[in-house]
Structure 1
Amino acid sequence: MTVQQASRFVVTPSSKAVAADARAVLLEDPGFGRIFTDHMVTIRWSEGKGWHSHSVGPREPFTLDPACAVLHYAQEIFEGMKAYRLSDGSTALFRPEENARRFNESAERMAMPVIPEDLFLEAIEELVRIDADWIPGGEGSLYLRPFMFASETFLGVRPAAEYIFCVIASPAGAYFKGGKKAVSLWVSEHYTRAGRGGTGAAKCGGNYAASLIAQAEASKHGCDQVVFLDSAENKWVEELGGMNVFFVMADGSLVTPPLGGTILPGITRNSIITLARAQGMTVREEPYSFEQWRADSASGNLREAFACGTAAVVTAIGEVKSVKGDFTVGNGDGGLVTETLRNALVGIQRGTVEGPAGWLRRI
Structure 2
Amino acid sequence: MTENARAIAARVEAFVRHAIIPHEHDPRCGAHGPSEELVAELRDKARAAGVLTPHISADGTHLCHREVAIVLRAAGLSPLGPVAVNVAAPDEGNMYLLGKRASAAQKTRFLDPLIRGEARSAFFMTEPAADGGAGSDPSMLMTTAVADGDHWIVNGRKAFITGAAGAKVGIVMAKAEQGATLFLVDLPDPAIRIERVLDTIDSSMPGGHAIVAIDELRIPADQMLGNPGEGFQLAQVRLAPARLTHCMRWLGACTRAQEIAVDYANRRHAFGKSLIDHEGVGFMLAENLIDLKQADLMIDWCAGVLDDGHPGTAESSMAKVAVSEALMRIADRCVQVMGGTGVSGDTVVEQVFREVRAFRIYDGPTEVHKWSLARKVRRDWKAVQA
Q: TM-score range by the shorter chain?
A: under 0.3
Greater share of residues in strand: 1
